[in-house]
Amino acid sequence: MAKMKAAMAAVLVMEKEGVSVAFGVPGAAINPLYAALRERQSIAHILARHVEAASHMAEGYTRAKAGNIGVCIGTSGPAGTDMITGLYSAQADSIPILCITGQAPRARMHKEDFQAVDIESIAKPVTKMALTVMEPAQVPRAFQQAFHLMRSGRPGPVLIDLPFDVQMAEIEFDIDTYEPLGVFKPAATKKQVEKALEMLMAAKKPLIVAGGGIINADASELLVEFAELTGVPVIPTLMGWGSIPDDHPLMAGMCGLQTSHRYGNATMLASDFVLGIGNRWANRHTGSVETYTKGRKFVHVDIEPTQIGRVFAPDYGIVSDAKAALQLFVEVAREWKAAGRLNDYAEWAERCAERKRLMHRKTHFEQVPIKPQRVYEAMNAVFPRDTVYVTTIGLSQIAGAQFLHVYGPRQWINCGQAGPLGWTVPAALGVAASDPTKTVVGLSGDYDFQFLIEELAVGAQFRLPYVQVLVNNSYLGLIRQSQRNFDMDFAVQLAFDNQNVEDPTLRGYGVDHAKVIEGLGCKTLRVTDPEKLVSAFEEARRMAAEYRVPVVVECILEKVTNIAMGTEIDKINEFEDIDCRHPEGREGLVAAGLLE
């Protein structure tokens, strides 16, 4: 046993739990913890410019690599409340991050002390645990419990609040014999998996819906193996994109109201059975339950018991970690294949692949200002197969999901349910901090970009290179498109006459992003000609490698573009951007039975 300050015990536990990087902003109430970090020099610290951004950096860091736990640190009061959006984002997408806040001394709590707030109560609805540690001796066990909870069951975030005097108090603690608590994850039984496989084999046109739980469980290889053993096509959700490579013959496209492929929706509507693994039937994936479920049966596998039946009642439910379930699905499928008990779904899989070949949206527009679809075409041409894309919400994200290609797990890092503007830049920095050798590409509209633009300075200071694609239409584009239903275009224009802008191509676009970006220590390129997009992205990759800072490629878009979306998966408004590759057009697809 050794005597030490409780703050030091917290740092020692984090070391034993595998923490090597933390993101944060110091302050008076958390300085004892920072003193311990400085003394140990074992956990690298990246100084954010905003505490909300630190929480998003932690989330990007966690998502970047299996086993990572992102940590963000802030002082008392507003630092904690700034982290709430980050905690909500992590909770919504089942991402473990640890937020640590300072707090007023215990004697001053609940006495309206400076920057004292009941952050435990505020954070509880958006965390797996929020705890103000009132006894110094409980600090190491509070951190031990935090890591156990973050990793067990459905993953999620934890907040630990440390009063100043608790951090400073001396305790006795033996770190040499410390061991992390065992992780609990529910597992399917063989009998359950056999029943699910029997139901699948009774179908003529089955699909597997692969959710983000598969990526969280590091089970993508098992998913692909199971799909190949059975010959069943896979529809990944937005959070599960990359669990099967886009160019795999059994990758049948994404389904949904916005972030979907035409062929993915058509294949879902043609199916008669769905095995969902690690997904939550999010409404942007399903649309109305009536349309989504009509004419098909469902098996749902999820790690969280209360998730099964939450959106609709499946025909059969299994509570299990995705990896544990898929290990059994592969085992049983192998046994059944050897015994000749598996159906041949080759004809159904070929029909799905035929839709994938023929049902595309047009990308090769030559107009000036640039149409956004052309930007994604150029990104596909330049960025390598192992690129990690990072984005949050807006037309930029929706079009990215429709047009980009993702070939592996953790290569599409997207804030799915919460979708806070400003998330992309700090999250991309967190991804880059996990592995600065990766090709990381952020994707933002101008409003998302402006929310936390100051975090680019973090990338410059800490040498975190990545390419940030900024599609600038000087609009809140998604909200403007939504306002079509109200016959208005109101309070969504970002354009203004910037008297300091000298570039005539920027007149009427408002903010001169290039000046801000350069002032923050980063590099930037601006593209107004669609023919120069490819060369600009190539140059941005070179500059990021040379200067080791974020490089922003600003693409000046037409101001009004409507991206395909709809109210139901069978009622998507494609606008004008159709690229039907069937020689007889849409009528040919219908006649061939590929489209209803």
Catalytic (active-site) positions: 25, 51, 421, 476, 479
By the 8 A CB rule, do 298 and 199 touch?
no
Alpha-carbon distances of 546 from 116, 451, 543, 549, rounded to whole Å: 45, 27, 5, 8
Bridge partners for 301 per DSSP: 277, 318
To which residue do tokens 């951190």 refer?
A: 143
Of 430, 417, 469, the closest CA to residue 448 belongs to: 469
For 131, phi then psi, to 5°, come to -145, 130
Of 593, 543, 548, 529, the closest CA to residue 429 belongs to: 548
**Distance of alpha carbon 2 from alpha carbon 95, whole angstroms:** 34
**Distance of alpha carbon 547 from alpha carbon 521, whole angstroms:** 10
Classify each residue of 316-337 as buried b or exposed e, where b means 16 or more C-beta atoms within 10 Å of its C-beta.
Answer: bbbbbbbbbbbbbbbebbeebe
Of 319, 313, 434, 344, the closest CA to residue 66 belongs to: 434
**Distance of alpha carbon 54 from alpha carbon 429, whole angstroms:** 10
E-strand ranges in 193-303 read: 206-210, 234-236, 273-277, 297-302
Structural Rg of the chain based on CA atoms: 25
**Distance of alpha carbon 292 from alpha carbon 256, whole angstroms:** 10
**Distance of alpha carbon 414 from alpha carbon 448, whole angstroms:** 13
Beta-carbon-side half-sphere exposure of residue 85 (alpha carbons within 13 Å): 16
By the 8 A CB rule, do 272 and 413 touch?
no
Cα-based angle 273, 283, 569 (whole degrees, multiple of 5): 60
Alpha-carbon distances of 131 from 183, 188, 473, rounded to whole Å: 20, 32, 43
- Secondary structure (DSSP) of 367-433: -SSBPHHHHHHHHHHHS-TT-EEEE-SSHHHHHHHHH----STTSEEE--SS--TT-HHHHHHHHHH
SS3 state at 260: coil
The residues, any chain, with a CB within 8 Å of residue 268's CB and separated by 6 or more, are 207, 235, 255, 274, 292, 569
Of 475, 477, 466, the closest CA to residue 443 belongs to: 466
Of 139, 138, 216, 151, the closest CA to residue 180 belongs to: 151
**Distance of alpha carbon 292 from alpha carbon 271, whole angstroms:** 10
